[in-house]
Amino acid sequence: MSGTTIPRLIDDAAERFGDHEAFVDGDQRWTYAGYRERIHAAARALMAHGIQSGDCVAVWAPNTAEWAVAALGVHCAGATLIPINTRFRGREAGDLLDRTSAKVLFTVTDFLDTDYVALLNDVGAGSGLEETVILRGTVPEGCTSWDGFLEAAAIVDDADRAARSAAVGPDDPCHVMFTSGTTGAPKGAILRHGAICRAYRSWSDVIGLRQDDRYLVVNPFFHAFGLNAGILACLLTGATLVPHPVFDVPSVMARVAQERISMLPGPPAIYQTILNHPDLAGLDMSSLRLAVTGAAPVPVPLVHAMGDTLGFETVITGYGLTEASGIATMCRHDDPPEVISGSSGRAIDDVEVLVVDADGDEVPRGEPGEVVVRGYNVMAGYLDDPDQTAEAVDADGWLHTGDIGVMDAAGYLDITDRLKDMFINGGFNVYPAEVESLLLAHPDIAQVAVVGVPDERLGEVGMAFVVATSGTLPDPADLVAWARTEMANYKAPRRFEVVDALPVNASGKVLKYELRKRARSAQGA
């Protein structure tokens, strides 16, 4: 699959799985042949609207059939996809649109009472866009409806579309996926067609995804898992994709029963909540057979219960990061529950994973160190940022993850800590430097430091220590409310404390460990 591109993958899927059901979204039920027709129509429409090879096109919307068609149409038009997090606010999304010089934005105006066009307009963002296409919802003045956009496909011959698709090479960028930055701004990891296709063929083979599977994709399409391990993995295997735009356990359980879902990914808490749900006995969950989980410890009793009670034949855990195409290590289908519970698996084929010390030398097995990854799956680099690229990927091609892990004698990896200050809120990575940069836009904040503090429901939440600008005395409750309007909810600190000064060392660096201790002490008080 190393020489494969996403446009070729789409053609191959249509030829191999033609009449098999590819996509189910409400009343929309498409075969693989029909899926390809819609994708190619979207590509022709993009070409008709002036999109050239190498241009950037953004999608800012929840999991829907239109999202997949628009995104794959971008690839078939030879352009680069920019997925945007649906939790982002206008300023955050606008920054990504500006940095990528995106020419077209596909979005919605009615998701969870949020109008994304209005969010952009409120902060004067997105002015560089040539066109905004509304996938679902009311179409504001100056925007184009999805159906209206597709009408332009008729003026482009499919032979021209086919030539554009054929010109896409395995080393060409397919997505720029933004990961929150430790230096205050999200970093755009450039991922390549050949690497993505190869990585998720390997992923699909390891988990045993197959044509008769019905896959409920609960992970957002804007995320590496939802896009690559969801949309693309289904194309690779012929599985039927069922998108799920808003996650909640009762609706997931109902969809499993209704659509006879066999593949259900998610964090361990999903499965535990299903097991504990009072409606479990009244719903037919017998179709479940395959689970992919991670991002939190998976207790051995949970692995057993997933098999004994929910009927899962296979439970797989793994580890990856956006800069490694979202995949680096995986357990195998025949690993015992103790291995699935206690590790993130071993390196996928043709990828190297080591645990090293500060000098880059491999540490003895069983000893902690930084996890590094080398192989075809490593990104091409960060968008327009050679300095951070060089910092992340060394001269020998090793990607320095910033994660601390321990590797056993069999090569199985256990992630134990993080080098950086990142914390995880409800499954989302939060980088304090990025949040701090956003908070400094508030006129009453002169200095700020953000740390993660334990939370029973979300794992960790942000707490901000603020030094006020001269002559002001901000109300912490007002700061909480402001933060929730200016950034994605998972980034917004849940608590603020106004302090006279931040603790620093002799060189002026903020002592975050002191702030963490203070925050935890306050929690226990």
Instruction: Please give the structure tokens belonging to residue 181.
Output: 């930055």
- Phi/psi at 471 (5° precision): 85, 5
Burial-class residue 364 by CB neighbours within 10 Å (0-12, 13-18, 19+).
exposed
pLDDT tens-digit profile of 259-282? 999 999 988 878 888 998 999 999
Band the pLDDT of 437: cuts 50, 70, 90: confident
| C-beta separation of 469 from 409 below 8 A | no
- The DSSP output letter for 226 is I
Q: What percent of the chain has pLDDT over 70?
A: 96
Q: What whole-number distance in Å separates Cα of residue 282 and Cα of residue 284?
A: 7
pLDDT tens-digit profile of 403-433? 888 999 999 998 876 666 778 888 887 878 7
Average pLDDT over residues 194-214: 97
Q: What whole-number distance in Å separates Cα of residue 128 and Cα of residue 126?
A: 5
DSSP string across 340-408: HHH---EEPTTEEEEEE-TTSPBPPTTSEEEEEEEETTS-SEETT-HHHHHHHB-TTS-EEEEEEEEE-
- The DSSP output letter for 152 is G
Band the pLDDT of 258: cuts 50, 70, 90: very high
Range name among 24-33, 35-44, 281-290, 446-455 with the lowest pLDDT average:
446-455
Instruction: Please give the structure tokens belonging to residue 62.
Output: 């929840």
For residue 390, give every residue at least 6 positions away whose Cβ sits within 8 Å of its Cβ, in sequence order, or none. none
- For 91, 138, 142, 143, 400, the CA distances from 122, given in Å and listed in that order, are 9, 17, 15, 16, 38
Instruction: Please give the structure tokens belonging to residue 334.
Output: 């025949």
Packing angle, helices 432-439 and 476-486, rounded to 10: 110
Class of domain 430-524: alpha beta
Band the pLDDT of 173: cuts 50, 70, 90: very high
Residues of 309-331 as b/e, b for ≥16 C-beta within 10 angstroms? ebebebbbbbbbbbbbbbbbbbb
Q: What whole-number distance in Å separates Cα of residue 326 and Cα of residue 349?
A: 15
Q: What whole-number distance in Å separates Cα of residue 189 and Cα of residue 447?
A: 29
> What was the pLDDT predicted at 419?
66
Q: How many CB atoms lie within 10 A of CB 402?
A: 17
Average pLDDT over residues 499-504: 90
Q: Give yes or no for residue 508 having a pLDDT over 80.
A: no
> What was the pLDDT predicted at 119?
96
- Phi/psi at 467 (5° precision): -100, 120
pLDDT tens-digit profile of 353-392? 999 998 999 999 999 889 999 999 999 999 999 999 999 9
Instruction: Please give the structure tokens belonging to residue 452.
Output: 């993660």
Which amino acid would we find at residue 375?
G
Range name among 138-152, 387-401, 441-455 with the lowest pLDDT average:
441-455
- For 271, 344, 452, the CA distances from 329, given in Å and listed in that order, are 22, 6, 26
More confident residue, 105 or 514: 105
Q: Give yes or no for residue 318 having a pLDDT over 70.
A: yes
- Highest mean pLDDT, choosing among 38-52, 427-441, 465-479: 38-52
Domain range list for the chain: 6-17+25-191, 247-418, 430-524
* Mean of per-residue pLDDT scores for the chain: 92
- For 46, 52, 306, 513, the CA distances from 177, given in Å and listed in that order, are 21, 20, 32, 30
> What was the pLDDT predicted at 184?
62
> What was the pLDDT predicted at 5?
98
Strands across the sheet containing 240-243: 28-31, 21-25, 240-243, 214-217
Query: Which residue stretches of 49-157 are H helix?
Result: 65-76, 90-100, 116-122, 146-151
- What is the CATH architecture assignment of 6-17+25-191? 3-Layer(aba) Sandwich (3.40)
For 95, half-sphere exposure in the C-beta direction (CA atoms, 13 angstrom radius) is: 17
Q: Which helix (H) or strand (E) holds 153?
A: none
- The DSSP output letter for 239 is P
Instruction: Please give the structure tokens belonging to residue 306.
Output: 């997933």
CATH number, span 247-418: 3.40.50.12780
Which residue reads 């429409």 in tokens?
45
> What was the pLDDT predicted at 270?
83
For residue 16, give every residue at least 6 positions away whose Cβ sits within 8 Å of its Cβ, in sequence order, or none. 32, 238
> What was the pLDDT predicted at 295?
64
> What was the pLDDT predicted at 524?
63
Q: What whole-number distance in Å separates Cα of residue 276 and Cα of residue 457?
A: 16
pLDDT tens-digit profile of 87-136? 899 999 999 999 999 999 999 999 988 999 999 999 999 889 999 999 99
> What was the pLDDT predicted at 253?
94
Do 247-418 and 430-524 show the same overall fold?
no
Which residue reads 């990961």 in tokens?
179
Return the ∠ at Cα 192 (arms to 190 and 194), rounded to 5°: 165
